[in-house]
Every structure is written in C-alpha cells, then in structure tokens.
Amino acid sequence: MNINFIAMGKLKERYFREACDEYLKRLSAFARVSEFQPTAEDLPQNPSPAQIRQALDKEGKKIQSVIKGGFTVALCVEGKQITAKQLAEKFENLANSGVSAVNFIIGSSYGLSEDVKNECDLRLSMSEMTFPHSLARVMLFEQVYRAFSIMNNSKYDK
C-alpha cells in the first residue's frame, strides 16, 4: 500500500522533523511512504475572512495537484475521531477492496478549503483539543505507524 502524507508547509523545528523522519522510516517497513509539503500561502497578521478563503483555495489547488487517486483523508476539527485499532481495520478493509493508496491531508493554520474537504473520503479529527500543526503531523505519522503495527501483530501497540 502507498501512504501519502500531504501537509502544508515545511516543519521548522528540527525535533519535529526528526520525529517525523523516524516514523516515516519505521512505516516504510510496511508500506511505500511519500511526504509532500506544498508551500503555505502567506497571510497578513490579521487576515480578513476573504483573504483566508483565498489562501485556502490556492493551497487547495496545490494539494489537489499532488493527489493521484486512492482513498483520501482530511484532518479537520469537524472530522470523526477513531482509535488506532479502527484505523488499522480501515487500512485492512481498503486493502481488501483493492485500494492501493491512502492520502492524508493536513492543512495550514487556517485549515483546508471546503473543496478539498468535500473531495475527501473521510474527515478525521485527532482530538477535540487543539495542537500545533507540527505536533499534529508527528502524531498522525505515529498513529499510522501504530495502525500498521497492529495489522502486523507488532509488539509496538502493546
């Protein structure tokens, strides 16, 4: 299976980058993994709703240009919360249905455009709590790795 992570912007903090790299390396034992980091749009200090919407639309086009089919998951606050075991079951069901790629999308600090969210197969929320996008990326990578570990009966999830 191909797992594609699409996250707006590069990680600035070295420790978050190192954590993501570690989980990408571990995950590569189970799947072909790709990471795409389109550039987020620059916005002024206090952007208007119209400026935010325009930036999200531009970012959405960048995201859409990377997705080449497969099952697509948007991480967003209004999404569904699931357990790592449920994520593992979702991967198994997708694989059994012939789906060969799963795309995970993390937007910029203002989220994702409605167009992107509407095109996704699943809207996923990590928590009702709010996390910095850099940390959310690490958490997503870890949870995907955990789900594959569950599928492969690894001791990691114990």
Torsion of CA 19, 40, 120, 123, to 10 degrees: 60
SS3 3: strand
**Neighbouring C-beta atoms of residue 131, cutoff 10 Å:** 12
Average pLDDT across each block of 10 residues of the chain; the chain has 158 residues. List them in order: 96 96 97 96 94 96 94 96 96 96 95 96 94 93 97 82
pLDDT, residue 155, reads: 82
pLDDT, residue 47, reads: 95
CB 11 within 8 A of CB 108: no
**CATH number belonging to domain 2-157:** 3.40.1280.10
pTM: 0.94
pLDDT, residue 157, reads: 63
Picking from 65, 86, 99, 78, the residue whose alpha carbon sits closest to that of residue 144 is 86
